[in-house]
Amino acid sequence: MKKNGWIVIIATLVALLLPAAGIQIALHGKTVPLDRGQQETDMDGIQSGEAVNGTQTDTAGNGTQTDAAADGTSDGMSGNQSQGQEAGVAQNDDGKENISEEPAPTSVTEEQKAYYLSLEAACSDTLSDGTEMRLLATDRACGSSYYTLIGVKDGTCTFVNTDPFNGSGGEALFITFPDQETERRKNIGYAGLAYSGGSLGSFYITEDGGRHFQALEISEPRIPLSDDTTYCPFIMPEEVYEENGAVYLVMGQGPDGDYHDETGYPSGLYRAEDGRTFQYVKSIYRERTED
């Protein structure tokens, strides 16, 4: 019985020591079994969740995630796809490109056309084909008017642009298409807008007959003052005309302007050889009107 008892004890000790021996062997083999969801670390010092050659190991240590692809793209998007989205080109389910297009114009009833034809134009200009381009004040808020541009020919009303000043309100000063003799510039027109109670102005250009307008930045001359400082008094677009292939812009001081010299209150004359890049030429003197 004593011999058999020792055999039982030895067998029990062996059974207990074998798992420990197995763990020790595994450690020398540089692997550690995952224990109850703990983060796995191999004996080479690479931890799950760290980037390895542009990939990332998962929490099980036996796979990779696509959060950071080896070629530098992310979220499973290829470089060509991301470039296509940046360019504003989408793809449909068939893989064909969908290029965004302008929405179709809203249909207008004859009653609405008759109403717009009854409005007095804030300013207008007539094209060489007889179409009268009219800026109509169709809304008003906080002391500012908001405009619609229509074309009228032979009693027919065409809606050209329902927001020519791109959301800005104020007082329309003029609209003109100055060079109707040159085919290249036939669709180039200009418009002026006063705002901030008439103390400031913006100058707009269209190159497609009024369908789209863009505000232009005008180079500012620096007029010297008696205290050795300089400023630009010409803030209000007043007139645009064409002469000898160039386009001229007259910029006034607005109703609050007080710059003058021994001759009077000057305006600024600008010239654009290309029709859109206006450079200051000189001061001119025109009759000053009082409101």
> How high is the pLDDT of residue 33?
37
The answer, yes or no, to whether residue 151 has pLDDT greater than 50, is yes
Query: pLDDT band at residue 223, thresholds of 50, 70 and 90?
Result: confident
Q: Where residue 262 sits, what CATH number does that domain have?
A: 2.120.10.10
Structure tokens at 115: 């109403």
Domain hosting 253: range is 110-285
**If you write DSSP's letter for every residue of 185-203 in order, what string do you get?**
GTT-EEEEEEETTTTEEEE
Q: Please indicate, yes or no, if residue 65 is contained in any of the structural domains.
A: no
Q: Report if residue 242 sits inside a domain.
A: yes
The pTM assigned to this predicted structure is 0.62
Within a domain: 272: yes
Side-chain-facing half-sphere of 259: CA atoms under 13 Å = 20
Q: Which two tokens stand for residue 288?
A: 């000053």
Evaluate whether residue 184 is within a structural domain: yes
- Please report whether residue 49 resides in a domain: no
Look at the chain and report how many structural domains it folds into: 1
Question: Please, what is the average pLDDT of the chain?
Answer: 75
265: helix, coil or strand?
coil
- The string of pLDDT tens digits covering residues 162-183 is 999 999 999 999 999 999 998 8
Rounded to whole angstroms, the Cα distance separating 60 from 34 reads 8
Residue 169 placed within a domain: yes
Q: Is residue 263 part of a domain?
A: yes
Q: Single out the residue of 217, 230, 237, 200 nearest to residue 279, CA to CA.
A: 217
102 within domain boundaries: no
